[in-house]
């Protein structure tokens, strides 16, 4: 009895998944998924998965960075805080200066001398998207 119930449940789930697939992939609505429709469907699925991964990565990196670099749980990092953060990596003062200038040039979107959590997340998202695009181009 339990086996029959399990088989029926599995069959029901497969039917539901198949129906969802056809509704999403069959662009013409003719009950047939062409090769082109399937490829487009898979590309869209991969894009959605990539978006989720990027968002998770950005959130984790933002939290990690601000825990390490910001003082007193602030939602921004000043140039001085960033320089202290870089010094903790054991790099030379010249490298600290160069890294600070490079970071603030791209991450401090409004030029106010601090990088907020929002600006940092935007910076990391752009960086992640560029890396993902490069990987896609490399694989193509």
Summarize pLDDT for 12-51 with one digit per residue, the tens.
999 999 888 888 888 888 988 899 998 888 888 888 888 8
Query: Are the beta carbons of 76 and 115 closer than 8 angstroms?
Result: yes
To which residue do tokens 């119930």 refer?
A: 5
Q: Using 70 as the pLDDT threshold, list the residues of the chain that sit under it.
A: 139-140
Specify the pLDDT at position 23: 85
Whether the full predicted model's pTM is greater than 0.75, yes or no, is no
Query: Are the beta carbons of 55 and 124 closer than 8 angstroms?
Result: no
Residue 114 pairs in a beta bridge with 78
């Amino acid at each position: 009895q339990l086996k029959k119930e399990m088989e029926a449940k599995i069959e029901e789930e497969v039917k539901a998944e198949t129906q969802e697939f056809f509704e999403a992939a069959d662009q013409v609505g003719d009950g047939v998924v062409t090769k082109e429709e399937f490829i487009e469907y898979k590309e869209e699925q991969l894009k959605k998965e990539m978006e989720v991964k990027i968002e998770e990565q950005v959130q984790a990196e933002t939290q990690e960075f601000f825990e390490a670099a910001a003082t007193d749980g602030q939602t921004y990092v000043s140039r001085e805080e960033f320089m202290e953060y870089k010094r903790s990596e054991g790099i030379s003062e010249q490298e600290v200066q160069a890294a600070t200038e490079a970071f603030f040039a791209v991450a401090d979107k409004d030029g106010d001398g601090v990088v907020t959590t929002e600006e940092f997340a935007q910076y990391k998202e752009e960086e992640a998207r560029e890396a993902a695009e490069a990987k896609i181009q490399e694989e193509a």
